[in-house]
Structure 1
Amino acid sequence: ECRINEVTEALIEIEKVFNKELPLSDLSSSEQDKILEAVQARRKMCLKPIHFSANILDPKLKCKHLSAGEIIQGLQYIHSLARHLSNVDENKVLENLADFRSNSGFWEMQFVQDSAINPNISPITFWKGICTEFPLRFVAEAVLTMPATSAATERSFSSYGNIHTKKRNRLSVKRAGMLTYVNHNLKLFTNDELPRDPTDTSESTVTLGLEEKTMATNQSEPGFSGWYSPRCVDQSSSSEDSELYEEMDAVLYASDELEDEDDVDKDEDID
Structure 2
Amino acid sequence: MNKSTTLKLPSNTHRDGVVIMFDSLLEGKESLQEMAISQSADMDSAIKRILLDDVFRERVVSSLKLLKPIAVGNARTEGDNAILSDVQTLLADVKEEIRTALPTSLLLKAEETAVLKYIKKCEDFCLKPIHAAAFMLDPKYAGKSHLSGAEINKAYGVVTTVSRHFGLDEGKFLGSLAKYTSKQGLWDGDAIWQSCQHISSATWWKGLCGSEALSPVAFIILQIPPLSAASEENRFLFGNTHTKARNRLTNTRVKKLVDIRANLRLFEPDNDSRLESDSDDEASEFDVQEVDIKGVQGEDKEA
> For residues 117 and 90 of structure 1, what CA distance do their matches in structure 2 show?
29
Per residue, is there more strand in 1 or in 2?
A: 1
Distance 1:179 1:120, change over 3 A: closer
Of residues 71, 85, 91, the one that matches 2:152 is: 71
| 1:83 alignment counterpart | 164
| 1:57 alignment counterpart | 137
TM-superposed CA distance for 1:151, in Å, is: 0.9
Structure 1 length-normalised TM: 0.63
> For residues 111 and 83 of structure 2, what CA distance do their matches in structure 1 show?
33
TM-superposed CA distance for 1:115, in Å, is: 2.1
Range moving further from structure 2, 91-100 or 115-124? 115-124
Q: Tell me the percent identity.
A: 27
Distance 1:189 1:128, change over 3 A: closer
Distance 1:5 1:249, change over 3 A: farther
The alignment status of 1:211 with 2:289, answered yes or no, reads: no
| C-alpha contact 1:160 1:176 (8 A) present in aligned 2 | no
Of residues 152, 160, 166, the one that matches 2:230 is: 152
| C-alpha contact 1:164 1:176 (8 A) present in aligned 2 | no
> For residues 25 and 251 of structure 1, what CA distance do their matches in structure 2 show?
62
Per residue, is there more helix in 1 or in 2?
A: 2
Of residues 112, 116, 137, the one that matches 1:36 is: 116
> For residues 203 and 263 of structure 2, what CA distance do their matches in structure 1 show?
27
The alignment status of 1:143 with 2:209, answered yes or no, reads: no
One-letter amino acid of the counterpart of residue 136, structure 2: I
TM-superposed CA distance for 1:18, in Å, is: 0.5
Matched positions, count: 215
| C-alpha contact 1:179 1:252 (8 A) present in aligned 2 | no
> For residues 142 and 262 of structure 1, what CA distance do their matches in structure 2 show?
31
The alignment status of 1:99 with 2:169, answered yes or no, reads: no
| C-alpha contact 2:294 2:301 (8 A) present in aligned 1 | no
Runs of 4+ displaced beyond 4 Å: 159-165, 175-180, 189-194, 248-258, 260-263
> For residues 212 and 189 of structure 1, what CA distance do their matches in structure 2 show?
17
The alignment status of 1:188 with 2:262, answered yes or no, reads: yes
Instruction: Spell out, residue by residue over 1:85-109, the C-alpha distance to the aligned partner (whole angstroms, 9 max, x if none).
Output: 14x32221111111221233443x2
| 1:128 alignment counterpart | 206
SS of corresponding position for 2:139: coil
Unaligned runs of 5+ in 1: 195-205, 214-219, 230-247, 264-271
SS of corresponding position for 1:188: helix
Distance 1:158 1:128, change over 3 A: closer
Distance 1:37 1:186, change over 3 A: same
TM-superposed CA distance for 1:163, in Å, is: 6.4
| 2:282 alignment counterpart | 222
> For residues 94 and 249 of structure 1, what CA distance do their matches in structure 2 show?
55
One-letter amino acid of the counterpart of residue 277, structure 2: E
> For residues 229 and 102 of structure 2, what CA distance do their matches in structure 1 show?
30
